[in-house]
Amino acid sequence: GAGVSQSPSNKVTEKGKDVELRCDPISGHTALYWYRQRLGQGLEFLIYFQGNSAPDKSGLPSDRFSAERTGESVSTLTIQRTQQEDSAVYLCASSASRDFWRVETQYFGPGTRLLVL
Amino acid sequence: AQKITQTQPGMFVQEKEAVTLDCTYDTSDPSYGLFWYKQPSSGEMIFLIYQGSYDQQNATEGRYSLNFQKARKSANLVISASQLGDSAMYFCAMREEMAGNQFYFGTGTSLTVIP
C-alpha cells in the first residue's frame, strides 16, 4: 500500500491499562509525526521523528506517553496507565524531504480511535 | 501566543457560492510555509494547498486559492463554487524553518455546504 497505515483502527481499554498504537509511514519518508485529536477539536502535536531520533518531544502531555521509531519505518506510541482524558483519535503522518523549501505536505494515516472506559 | 488562529468554528455556504475561511498566524521566522488541510467526516486529512513565505503570488489549486496577506499575517482559504462534498473540517497549519519539521495546526473550521 502506498499510504500511511495505523493499527489498531479502534481500541477500547480500561482505565489504568497500557496501550500501544502503531504507525507505518510511507516508505522512504524520513519524518514522522504523532498528533492527538479530541472530539470536535483540532490537532494537538505530540512528537515528531526525523529518522529514528525525536528532536521534539515537547508535545507529549505527560510522562505516561512515550514513542519509539525503528529506523525510518514503524513507530509506536505507548500510553501507560491510561486515563479517560486520553480518549481521542491519534493520528500519524509522514513526510518526505528534509529540504524545507519543498512542499512537504504531510500524509496522514486514518487514525486510531482510543476510548478509555 | 497561538501560532495559528482560526476564529470561525463553523461556517455555512450555499452550494455554488464562494466561501472564505480565515487563518492568521504568528511567527518571527522570515521563512515559513502555510498549509490548508481538509478533514471529512471519515477522518482522513487531505492536503489542499501550500503557500511559502517568499512566494510572490497567491497559491491556487483548482477551486482553492489562498489569500496571502503577509503584513497582516493572514492566509485565508477561498473555496469557489462550493460543492456538497466540500462539507468538512478545514485546518490551517504552519511550518517554520527555525522549528524544523514541526507543524502547528489551528483548531479548525467546520464548513457546511447547503444545497
* DSSP character string of chain B: --SEE---SEEEEETTS-EEE--EE----S-EEEEEEEE-TT---EEEEEEETT-SS--EETTEEEEEETTTTEEEEEE-S--GGG-EEEEEEEEESTTTT-EEE---EEEEEE-
The pLDDT, as a whole number, for residue A34 is 93
Enumerate the β-bridge partners of residue A78: A20, A66
Over range B43-67, report the average pLDDT: 91
Query: What does the pLDDT read at residue B37?
Result: 92
On the question of pLDDT at B6 being above 90, the answer is yes
Which backbone phi and psi does B3 adopt, to 5 degrees?
Answer: -75, -40
Cα distances (Å, whole numbers) of residue B4 to A64, B27, B73, B92, B112: 27, 9, 10, 7, 22
**Chain A contact for B47, CB < 8 A?**
yes
| pLDDT given for residue B4 in this prediction | 94
User: Closest to A89 (Cβ–Cβ): which among B33, B43, B104?
Assistant: B43
Q: Which residue has the cell 456538497?
A: B84
Measure A77 CA to nearest chain B CA, in Å.
17
Interface contact B101-A108, CB threshold 8 A: no
On the 0-12 / 13-18 / 19+ scale of CB atoms within 10 A, B109 is buried
Residue A105 CB neighbour total at 10 angstroms: 20
Q: Which of A103, A107, A112 to mutate to test the interface with B (most CBs of B within 10 A)?
A: A103
For position B49, what pLDDT does the model report?
92
Residue pLDDT, tens place only, B9-48 = 999 999 999 999 999 999 999 989 999 999 888 877 888 9
Q: Are strands B103-105 and B109-114 parallel, antiparallel or unpaired?
A: unpaired
Interface of A with B (CB under 8 A): 31, 33, 35, 41-43, 45, 48, 50, 55-56, 89, 91, 93, 95, 100-101, 103-108, 110-111
Residues of chain A short of pLDDT 70, as ranges, are: 1, 97-104
How far is the C-alpha of B20 from the C-alpha of B13, rounded, in Å? 10
Min CA distance, B55 vs chain A (Å)?
A: 11
d(CA A104, CA A50): 13
Cβ count within 10 A of residue B82: 20
State the residue for C-alpha cell 522549528: B99
Chain-chain contact of B105 with A42 (C-beta, under 8 angstroms): yes
Cell of A114: 482510543
Cell of residue B40, nine digits? 471529512
Model pLDDT, residue B101: 63
pLDDT of residue A59: 82
Q: Let me know if A76 is exposed, middle or buried by CB neighbors in 10 A (0-12, 13-18, 19+).
A: middle
